[in-house]
Amino acid sequence: MARQKSQQTSRKASNSPKSRRRSGTLFIVGTPIGSLDDLTIRARAVLRQVSIVAAENPLATQALFSKHRISNTITSYGRRDENKIAILLDRLSAGHDIALVSDCGMPVIYDPGRLLITAARNAGYPVTIVPGASAVTAAAALSGYSGDRLIFLGRLPRTRPQLDQLCSTLKRESATTVMFVHPPILPHILNSIGRVLPNRAVTLAVNMTRKDERLCQGSATSLLEIARSLSRDAELTLVLAGAGKDRR
């Protein structure tokens, strides 16, 4: 009888929540968009305490770690890295916490992080956020245009007809539009805006939060000369005022 009670007690203990292995948590961590000093206190603490940091660009993440004296394991994570998703899910299953970071700003914004986030959530693992800087909201604030409604365009078309068509869809759009633009494409999108939306106010934010930060405002055509002078590695965010917000 005593032995039977002992076995029942043992079974209850093995099935108790405390005896079950805790799964790991996926932390979505925002990182600076330019100045490495902008890393938040909480983000720094999480990046130190997790078991693994999954990074879009390990070199950029290592530079951030060196600045803040963070020592941790960094693994690469890309858009076509399906095998890496399975490996990271196994780590979560084993109880290891993982931080997901972009090369700058918030994961998922112009970043493949959504694939890991979706997979982790579908598998039942805890997913939480450590918010940080975003070039989208930073540029919108710098522009001085209305922030009541924002449209974000992360991947612009490259041909003239496609860019003109995109601008045509914004003719009656009252929301402020924020775009990430690569330097070689900038003159083309400015030309399209100049043709299709000639009176619309435009703001160009260059290398935000860095020592060489620059803000240029005016019509699209007035910014063309500046656009052609920018280096190919400049970080550019273009903000287009909504319809009815013409330049003065």
* Structure-token pair, residue 113: 């992080």
Asked whether residue 14 is assigned to any structural domain, the reply reads: no
pLDDT at 146: 95
* Same-domain status, 57 and 126: yes
Among residues 38, 31, 20, 35, the alpha carbon closest in space to that of 99 is found at 31
Domain count, the chain: 2
* Same-domain status, 140 and 175: yes
* Same-domain status, 161 and 181: yes
pLDDT at 20: 53
Burial of 159 (0-12, 13-18, 19+ CB in 10 A): exposed
Q: Is pLDDT of 14 > 70?
A: no
* Same-domain status, 123 and 204: no
In contact, 103 and 78? CB cutoff 8 Å: no
Q: For all residues of the chain together, what is the average pLDDT? A: 90
Distance CA 58, CA 79 (A): 14
Among residues 101, 135, 132, the alpha carbon closest in space to that of 209 is found at 135
Residue 93 CB contacts under 8 Å (≥ 6 apart), including other chains? 23, 24, 123, 125
Asked whether residue 206 is assigned to any structural domain, the reply reads: yes
| Least confident among 107-116, 160-169, 189-198 | 107-116
pLDDT at 245: 57
Domain interval for residue 187: 135-240
Q: What is the pTM of this model?
A: 0.85
- The pLDDT tens digits for 178-237 are 999 999 999 999 999 999 999 999 999 999 999 999 999 999 999 999 999 999 999 999
Asked whether residue 194 is assigned to any structural domain, the reply reads: yes
Tell me what the mean pLDDT of segment 74-80 comes to: 84
Q: Is pLDDT of 16 > 50?
A: no
Q: Which residue has the tokens 């245009």?
A: 145
Task: Select from 103, 130, 157 the last residue of a domain.
Answer: 130
Distance CA 215, CA 229 (A): 14
Q: Is pLDDT of 10 > 70?
A: no
Q: Residue 151: helix, strand or coil by DSSP?
A: strand
- The pLDDT tens digits for 34-71 are 999 999 999 999 999 999 999 989 999 999 999 999 99
Asked whether residue 72 is assigned to any structural domain, the reply reads: yes
CATH of the domain at 223: 3.30.950.10
Asked whether residue 87 is assigned to any structural domain, the reply reads: yes
